[in-house]
Amino acid sequence: MTIQWFPGHMAKAKREVQEKLKLVDFVIELVDARAPLSSQNPMLHQVLNQKPKMYVLMKNDLADPISTEKWLTYYKEKNIPAVAVDVSQKQDVQQVIAVAKQMAQEKMERLKRKGVRPRPARAMIIGIPNVGKSTLINRLAKRKIAKTGDRPGITTSQQWIKVKKDFELLDTPGILWPKFEDELVGYRLAAIGTIKDQLLPLEEVAVYTLNYLRTYYHSMLMSRYQVKEDSEDVHTLMERIGRLRGCIESGGNVQLEKTADVILRDLRNGKIGRISLELPE
């Protein structure tokens, strides 16, 4: 599966990130807790250079908690600040602020020693589309500033946002990279809803998802779709799910694209269970 999606506003956003990087003290990169590595933008790693960075694992309420703990341990062993966040939980949002303040403390103390007037710490917040960036910003600022929506491509320009007196955030649009070299990365991002569905071969993504779930979350899959017998053929399983969910067209055939949409929506909404699509190892 080849996916290429690099709208003009994303290319512009990359240039603006490069230009504004000198204005911030550190970077907050948001990744999806269900696929923390695949949802990092390798193109931005080149841009960010040696700027200090913390990771925020978003949508933690949808991810496998055991997998998330492994990811947090992985980052800790690399001495990289990281927190897992469910934006509906106030303590999770406060944890982001606490870690950000720790990251900024050394820089603020250095400025103080130089006699520079105290100022809020400044952070650039980045992430791929539909990772939950706007929702987190609104929680941090305790007011609706950034537009939100359960689809990629909502934020299209940069803006500064004050978070109390603690620090200022430079919001940036979600940025994908032009081409996925690793096909699995493309499948993972497509499965969790990072890329617009209109651009995807949904049936292929659903087949990948079913194969993965059969291997790693078998009981959850069987329970969700009330399937008693697990077929060796994933396409037969998909047809069975389609019939159970009423995805039937005239003539009695299963509408595979509609079935794929049902499966992917169930995954993205957590109706199958708390699922993670990759581990550090």
pLDDT in tens, 9-48: 566 767 777 788 888 889 999 999 999 999 988 777 777 7
HEC readout, 39-56: CCCHHHHHHHCCCCEEEE
Say how many domains are in the chain. 2
Q: Which residue has the higher pLDDT, 118 or 262?
A: 262
One domain, residues 165 and 209: no
Residues 153, 256 share a domain: no
Confidence of residue 7 (pLDDT cuts 50, 70, 90): low
What confidence tens digit (pLDDT) does each residue in 219-271 have?
999 999 988 766 668 999 999 999 999 999 888 899 999 999 999 999 999 99
Helix axes 133-141, 90-113, angle to 10 degrees: 70
- Residue 271 main-chain phi, psi, to 5 deg: -75, -25
pLDDT score, position 237: 92
Q: What's at 198, amino acid-wise?
A: Q
- Strands 26-32 and 82-84 turn out to be unpaired
Residue 277 lies in a domain: no
Both 81 and 216 in one domain: the answer is: no
**27 and 108 housed in the same domain:** yes
193 found inside a domain? no
121 and 36 assigned to the same domain: yes
- Residue 63 within any structural domain of the chain: yes
Give the pLDDT confidence score for residue 168 in this predicted structure: 87
Distance CA 178, CA 200 (A): 15
Domain that holds residue 124: 8-171
pLDDT greater than 70 at residue 208: yes
- Cα–Cα distance for residue pair 82/222, rounded to 1 Å: 34
pLDDT at 91: 95
* Residue, of 204 and 164, whose pLDDT is higher: 204
Residue 152 pLDDT grade (very low, low, confident, very high; cuts 50, 70, 90): very low
Q: In terms of domains, do 153 and 225 share one?
A: no
Question: Would residue 141 count as lying in a domain?
Answer: yes
**Domain shared by 160 and 103, yes or no:** yes
Q: What is the pLDDT of residue 201?
A: 86
Residue 180 lies in a domain: no
Q: Is residue 145 situated within a structural domain? A: yes
User: What is the domain-level CATH number for residue 252?
Assistant: 1.10.1580.10
pLDDT at 154: 44
Are 135 and 48 found together in one domain?
yes
Provide mean pLDDT across the span 120-128: 87
Backbone phi and psi for residue 55, each to the nearest 5 degrees, phi listed first: -105, 140
The secondary structure element, H or E, covering residue 79 is: none
Looking at residue 155, what is its pLDDT?
A: 45
124 & 215 share domain = no
Is 179 inside any structural domain?
no
Residues 103 and 224 occupy one common structural domain: no
Residue 174: which of 36, 41, 82 has the closest Cα? Answer: 41
What is the model's pLDDT at position 197? 74
Are 85 and 60 contacting, i.e. CB atoms less than 8 angstroms apart?
yes
Please indicate whether residue 225 or residue 108 has the higher confidence score (pLDDT).
225
Give the CATH number, domain containing residue 151: 3.40.50.300
Q: Let me know whether 165 and 207 are in one domain.
A: no
Give the pLDDT of residue 35: 97
Mind giving me the DSSP string for 230-272? --S-HHHHHHHHHHHTT-B-TTS-B-HHHHHHHHHHHHHTTSS
Same domain, 49 and 119: yes
User: 279 in a domain, yes or no?
Assistant: no
